Structure 1
Amino acid sequence: LSTTMSGTFEELFTRAYGSADLTVTAAGGSGGFDQKAVEEVRSYEGVESAAPRYSLSSSLILDKVQKNGLPEVRSMRLFGVEPQSAKLATGFDLTDGHFPRSGNELTLDGGSAKNAGLGIGDRVTVGTPKGPKKLKLVGLLRIPGGSFGGLAFGMAPLPFAQNAFDKGRQISGIAVEAAEGVSVSDLKEKLDRELGEGLQAERSEKRTQEISGQLQGFKIALLFFAGTSLFVGAFLVFNALSMTILERTRELGMLRALGSTRAMIARSVIVEAMLLGVLGSLLGVLFGYGMARGLVYLFGRAFLFEITSLVLSPFALVSAIVVGIAVTVVAALYPAMKAGRVSPVEAMRARSTGDSGQSRGVSLLAPAFGLVLAGAGVPWIYYLARNLSANLGGLIYASGIAAIIAAFLGISLVIPVLVRPLAALFSPVLRLLFGVEGRMAAANATRNRGRTALTASALMVGISLVVAFSALGGSLLGSIRDYLDGSLGSDYVVQPTQQNSDDGFSATLPGKIGRVHGVEKTTSIVSTFRQDGEKVDAVFGVDQNYPEIFRVDYAAGGPGAFSKLKNGDAVIGKQLAKDRELGVGSRIEIPGPKGRKKYRVEGILKNDIVGGGMGIYLSQEILASDFNETQSEFLAIKARPGSDREALARRIDDVLEDYPQFTLYSNAEWKAQIESDFNRQYVFFYAIMGVSVAVSAFGVVNTLSMSVFERTREIGILRAVGTTRLQIGRLIIDEGIVISLIGCLIGVALGSLLGYLFVQGSGAGGFEIDFYYPKLPALAALLSGLFIGIFAGLLPARSAARKGIVEAVQYE
Structure 2
Amino acid sequence: MRYALRNLRRARRRALYTFLAAFYPALILVIMFGIVAGELRGMFESATKLETGHLQIRGGEELAGGALPLFELPDELIFRLREDAAIRYWTVRLDLPALAAAGSRSYGVLVQGVEPERIAEISPIPSLISQGSYITGPGEAVVGEELARLLDIEVGDSLVLLSAHPEAGMGAGVAKVVGIFQAPQAEMGRTVVQVHLDTARKWVRRPNAATAVVVFVNGVSGPWDAWRINQAVEELQRTLPQGLVVKDFEELAPELTLYMRIARPVLAAFSGIFFVLGGLVVLNAFYLSVLERTRELGVIRALGASRRWIMRAILGEALLLSGCGAALGGLLGAGIVFLVEQLGGLRMPGAYSEFLRAFGMEPILHLRVTPWEVLGSVLAMVGVGVLAAWYPAWKAARLEPVEAMRHVT
Which secondary structure does the structure 1 equivalent of 2:263 belong to? Answer: helix
Q: Is residue 2:11 matched to residue 1:439?
A: no
The correspondence for 1:795, drawn from 388, 391, 399, is 391
Q: Which residue of 2 aligns with 1:506?
A: 67
Q: Which residue of 2 aligns with 1:636?
A: 213
Q: CA deviation at 1:471?
A: 0.9
* Cα contact 1:471–1:772 (8 A) shared by 2: yes
The correspondence for 2:262, drawn from 660, 666, 681, is 681
CA RMSD of aligned residues (A): 5.5
Give, as a single letter, the amino acid of the residue that structure 2 aligns with 1:724: S
Which secondary structure does the structure 1 equivalent of 2:93 belong to? Answer: strand
Give, as a single letter, the amino acid of the residue that structure 2 aligns with 1:699: V
* Cα contact 2:48–2:54 (8 A) shared by 1: no
* Cα contact 1:489–1:551 (8 A) shared by 2: no
Q: CA deviation at 1:729?
A: 1.0
Q: Which residue of 2 aligns with 1:125?
A: none
Q: Is residue 2:36 matched to residue 1:473?
A: yes
Q: CA deviation at 1:593?
A: 9.9
Q: CA deviation at 1:722?
A: 4.0
Residue deviations 1:297-323, cap 9 Å, x none? xxxxxxxxxxxxxxxxxxxxxxxxxxx
Which secondary structure does the structure 1 equivalent of 2:407 belong to? Answer: coil
Q: CA deviation at 1:548?
A: 1.8
Q: Which residue of 2 aligns with 1:405?
A: none
- CA distance, structure 2, for counterparts of residue 597 and residue 730 of structure 1: 83
Which secondary structure does the structure 2 equivalent of 1:523 belong to? Answer: strand
* Cα contact 2:129–2:181 (8 A) shared by 1: yes
Give, as a single letter, the amino acid of the residue that structure 2 aligns with 1:686: L
- CA distance, structure 1, for counterparts of residue 386 and residue 65 of structure 2: 55
Which secondary structure does the structure 1 equivalent of 2:213 belong to? Answer: strand
Q: Which residue of 1 aligns with 2:282?
A: 700
Q: CA deviation at 1:493?
A: 0.9
**Pair 604,468 (structure 1): closer, same or farther in 2 beyond 3 Å:** farther
Give, as a single letter, the amino acid of the residue that structure 1 aligns with 2:384: I
Give, as a single letter, the amino acid of the residue that structure 1 aligns with 2:379: L
Give, as a single letter, the amino acid of the residue that structure 1 aligns with 2:114: Q
Q: Which residue of 2 aligns with 1:649?
A: 240
Correspondence list, 1:29-428, <5 A: none
* Cα contact 1:733–1:789 (8 A) shared by 2: no
- CA distance, structure 1, for counterparts of residue 310 and residue 374 of structure 2: 31
- CA distance, structure 2, for counterparts of residue 598 and residue 717 of structure 1: 95
* Cα contact 1:475–1:771 (8 A) shared by 2: yes
**Pair 437,496 (structure 1): closer, same or farther in 2 beyond 3 Å:** farther
Give, as a single letter, the amino acid of the residue that structure 1 aligns with 2:346: Q
Q: CA deviation at 1:460?
A: 5.1
Q: CA deviation at 1:518?
A: 3.6
Q: Which residue of 1 aligns with 2:293?
A: 711
Q: TM-score, normalised by structure 2?
A: 0.55
Q: TM-score, normalised by structure 1?
A: 0.31
- CA distance, structure 2, for counterparts of residue 806 and residue 673 of structure 1: 68
**Pair 648,446 (structure 1): closer, same or farther in 2 beyond 3 Å:** same
Q: CA deviation at 1:567?
A: 5.0
Q: Is residue 2:374 matched to residue 1:760?
A: no
Q: Is residue 2:143 matched to residue 1:561?
A: no
- CA distance, structure 2, for counterparts of residue 497 and residue 465 of structure 1: 46
Which secondary structure does the structure 2 equivalent of 1:786 belong to? Answer: helix
* Cα contact 2:94–2:112 (8 A) shared by 1: yes
* Cα contact 2:38–2:366 (8 A) shared by 1: yes
- CA distance, structure 2, for counterparts of residue 438 and residue 799 of structure 1: 17
- CA distance, structure 2, for counterparts of residue 665 and residue 811 of structure 1: 72
Q: CA deviation at 1:760?
A: 1.4
Q: Which residue of 1 aligns with 2:405?
A: 809
Which secondary structure does the structure 2 equivalent of 1:543 belong to? Answer: strand
Give, as a single letter, the amino acid of the residue that structure 2 aligns with 1:760: L
Q: Which residue of 1 aligns with 2:114?
A: 544
**Pair 568,516 (structure 1): closer, same or farther in 2 beyond 3 Å:** closer
- CA distance, structure 1, for counterparts of residue 154 and residue 293 of structure 2: 78
* Cα contact 1:467–1:774 (8 A) shared by 2: no
Q: Which residue of 2 aligns with 1:740?
A: 322
Residue deviations 1:465-512, cap 9 Å, x none? 4322321233455678899999999895158999xx9x96326x2x32
- CA distance, structure 2, for counterparts of residue 602 and residue 591 of structure 1: 9
Give, as a single letter, the amino acid of the residue that structure 2 aligns with 1:590: E
Q: CA deviation at 1:784?
A: 1.2
Larger RCO, structures 1/2 (Cα 8 Å, 6+ apart): 2
The correspondence for 1:783, drawn from 341, 362, 379, is 379
- CA distance, structure 2, for counterparts of residue 497 and residue 436 of structure 1: 71
Give the number of aligned pairs: 310
Correspondence list, 1:566-585, <5 A: 567=140, 569=142
Q: CA deviation at 1:795?
A: 0.8
**Pair 601,782 (structure 1): closer, same or farther in 2 beyond 3 Å:** farther
Give, as a single letter, the amino acid of the residue that structure 2 aligns with 1:775: P
Gaps of 5+ in 2: 79-90, 98-108, 156-177, 197-210, 217-234
